[in-house]
Structure 1
């Protein structure tokens, strides 16, 4: 009987070792867009509408924590880390919601599109996010700001509010600034109303209180200047606003892009001195065709181009919506388009679609791939 017991224990131990080795061998070596993606604890990665920071040899993925039946923030912003982009370790909650009902980030508020950048001068990690106050729907249209001494957090909430109150966009004419018409002067969604939007109707409306900020991203340029890019004017117009040297406020310098164009979900990158931005239209939780914009200067004139997606389901951005464009460290001109497949009926099951950005004749394209790895960029090195 003793020998049977010893044999049984050895068998169980062997099975445990085999399973452990199997888990090691199960490390991911490729991306599978739209498939379930698990962290080191074999739990679904819960980082929606996110962005990635690369710092000292490691990637940090920040995103919205979703529940099964709610898109509201009941946990906060989560963080995952990785050395290879395929396998991610759960770093916990980077920015936790508050239990204080007077806090702007109280449980049940809306925290979306978190992005983090690093300030080399202050040695602070700075997080921006779209914030909607609890119980007010999408009326507030605030930006929230938090900081940390460590990339994974915890982040301390600093402030929130509208953007650039009392400041005019640099590409808005004197006639547009001084016009006296008001939103009540127009019937919504008419040609006249759209013309008024293009001429700054909502910028004037929000001039004193500050401009609306919803879907957003952050970008640090080669000269270390940082910019907040966000959907404004009731999601009808994009703004790009320059940040102060500490990345915690605005210089007052900003521009409007595609007034009345109905763009959201901005994601930006720079290649060969040229700026590229992918956005989407506004169709609620449903996907639509991506848009591409380019500029020679980040605060300069932006030009709209056709949908950069090609192939089957290109008109739906492969059933997803962009959130961030990730430069791959150590590879020249290697960028990953990060997108989400939103599932409002079960938010936690929203899937991630990561695709390589490839280039043809100086313009980039997005093409579907069921499975791919970073070797796709080797031809560019």
Structure 2
């Protein structure tokens, strides 16, 4: 029997929607869970474990507080990637007045979960901004659970690598101060040269938009936008995935990259990022390397389509690249269409990644299925 449920529109009004079984992806449309409610897992990432996909994301609410963490990190499960069951709140925020770093009203963004084969623990990292501080804290945070659906237990937040230079730091970074003054006409160049790397040396490096990647040998990496979002930092995590080793590097200094998403194909590491324009969409970027910790080369905008589509990445921002289980070299680009005026109504843009001349490529498809991901679909 078909049930009728309420889905919130961009204006917060209730519109009756029938729950249904999904058999394809329809990027940009309201994507309902198995109960008929709009999936609430923004800025998310996916873990595949024991035959099931788990989608973790930011639980948004209506109105002016919609982009603050009022509930926590949500979790959904699926075996086919089309139909998702709401598993509830995997990591709840702490109570108001508790003084916790993840107190209700803080900012929790881009949660990613990986599984540690040695400890048998599920480990979640996320970008955290402390309550009442806007985006000044620029911290990363970690939580763990014995089950993929949680509940996760918050461990700590931090700015990583306090008192440590990146492996590719120069002697000048360590010994020649770079001074940046107000209204400095060379501000961007000095930041790229390492001004904020030096500034944050003692207290730890900034960490905002982030993702995780586990390599074939089990090594886990934390990739984050640092230095006031001007430079990406790639860090090796400890064997238990609960902390940082001393091994980290800067890549694309001054490149203004956000929203990193990393995947591996044919022994090469690929990265898709966005530019730096706040909630507004911008042209995606892509890059490749033979080594996670060095040698990254830019490949340009992966989007193929109209000028508007290329300029806006189909009006979305990257959050994760999902390898499709059982389909060799098949990957899904996951992006978000942010709606900052009513964040709960944000939409999901999932598209297949194809390759041309060794470069990842994204093309718009109104509707597509896993078994037709490499075929041309209806063009918008």
Q: Same fold (TM over 0.5)?
A: yes
Q: Which has the higher helix share?
A: 1
The aligned residue for residue 206 of structure 2 is 212
Match of 2:288 among 284, 291, 294: 294
The aligned residue for residue 340 of structure 1 is 336
In structure 2, the residue corresponding to 1:375 is in which secondary structure?
Answer: helix
Q: Cα distance, 1:125 vs. partner?
A: 0.3
Distance 1:377 1:344 in 2: 31
Q: Cα distance, 1:25 vs. partner?
A: 9.9
Aligned residue runs from structure 1 range 1-381, under 5 A: 17=1, 19=2, 26-69=20-63, 70-99=66-95, 100-184=97-181, 187-188=183-184, 190=185, 192-312=186-306, 313-377=309-373
Contact 1:177 1:200 (8 Å CA) reproduced: no
Q: Cα distance, 1:373 vs. partner?
A: 0.6
Distance 1:310 1:115 in 2: 28
Q: Please tell me the root mean square deviation across aligned C-alpha atoms, in Å.
A: 1.5
In structure 1, the residue corresponding to 2:295 is in which secondary structure?
Answer: coil
Distance 1:195 1:56 in 2: 48
Q: Cα distance, 1:136 vs. partner?
A: 0.3
Q: Cα distance, 1:363 vs. partner?
A: 1.4
The aligned residue for residue 14 of structure 2 is none
CA deviations 1:262-288 (Å, max 9, x no partner) are 110000100001011000001111000
Q: TM-score, normalised by structure 2?
A: 0.91
Contact 2:20 2:34 (8 Å CA) reproduced: no
Distance 1:49 1:249 in 2: 22
Contact 1:106 1:134 (8 Å CA) reproduced: yes
Distance 2:120 2:133 in 1: 35
Q: Cα distance, 1:24 vs. partner?
A: 11
In structure 1, the residue corresponding to 2:29 is in which secondary structure?
Answer: coil
Q: Cα distance, 1:360 vs. partner?
A: 1.3
Rg comparison, structure with higher value: 1
Q: Cα distance, 1:29 vs. partner?
A: 0.8
Q: Cα distance, 1:257 vs. partner?
A: 1.0
Q: Gaps (5+ residues) in structure 2?
A: 4-16, 376-380
Query: What number of residue pairs does the alignment pair up?
Result: 357
Contact 2:352 2:374 (8 Å CA) reproduced: no
Q: Cα distance, 1:27 vs. partner?
A: 1.2
Contact 1:182 1:205 (8 Å CA) reproduced: no
Distance 1:290 1:308 in 2: 7
Contact 1:227 1:241 (8 Å CA) reproduced: yes
Distance 2:174 2:41 in 1: 40
Q: Gaps (5+ residues) in structure 1?
A: 1-16
